[in-house]
Amino acid sequence: MSYALSTEPASQKDRTAANVAPDSATETYVALKLTIDSWRWAEVPFYLRTGKALAARRTEIAIQFNQAPFALFRDTPVERMTPNDLVLKIQPEEGMTLRFSAKIPGPSVNMDGVEMKFNFETCTSSCSSKNRHGC
C-alpha cells in the first residue's frame, strides 16, 4: 500500500471552518493506491481518493483495462491508443461510461477514443412513457 498526502497548504476555507484551529496542519486530502497480494489480482491497482471541501462530491468505480500487447490494425502504435476503461457511477448521477478505441471510418487506419454513456435517470424518465421492461 502506498499513500500520498496533499502537498498544498490548507486553504483559508479549511482553516475558517467550525472547530478547526487556525494553525491546523491536518491533511484534508488523501489518495491511496492499494494492491491485493494474490496471483489473481497481481498488478491490479485500486485507487481511493477522498478529501474535505473538494469541488464535487461523487462516488464511482473506475476500471482501466490493460492494453493488448499488440495492435489489431497494422502500424498502429499500442502506446498511442486510448486506454479502455469502464466507470460505474454510484453517486450523484447513477450510470456508467465505457471508453475504448475505435477505427475512424474511411480508407486510412486512424484510431480515436469513443465514449458510450448510460445515465440511469435519463433512461428511467424516458421509459416511464414506454413499456416497463427496459429502455
Where along the chain do its domains lie? 1-54, 56-135
How far apart, in Å, are the Cα atoms of 74 and each of 70, 81, 109, 123, 124?
9, 13, 8, 39, 42
Q: pLDDT per residue over 18-73, tens digit each?
A: 677 777 777 777 888 888 888 888 878 888 888 777 777 888 888 888 776 666 66
Please give the pLDDT value at position 13.
Answer: 59
User: Closest Cα partner for 118 from 100, 95, 93?
Assistant: 95
The cell for 81 is 491508443
Scored b (16 or more CB within 10 A) or e, 19-32 reads eeeeeeeeebbeee
Q: What is the pTM of this model?
A: 0.61
Could you tell me which residues are beta bridge partners of residue 121? none
The beta-carbon contacts of 16-21 under 8 Å, at least 24 apart in sequence, are: 17/53
Work out whether the CA dihedral 35, 43, 7, 30 comes out positive or negative.
Answer: negative
Q: pLDDT per residue over 76-124, tens digit each?
A: 665 666 778 899 998 888 999 999 888 889 887 777 889 999 998 887 7
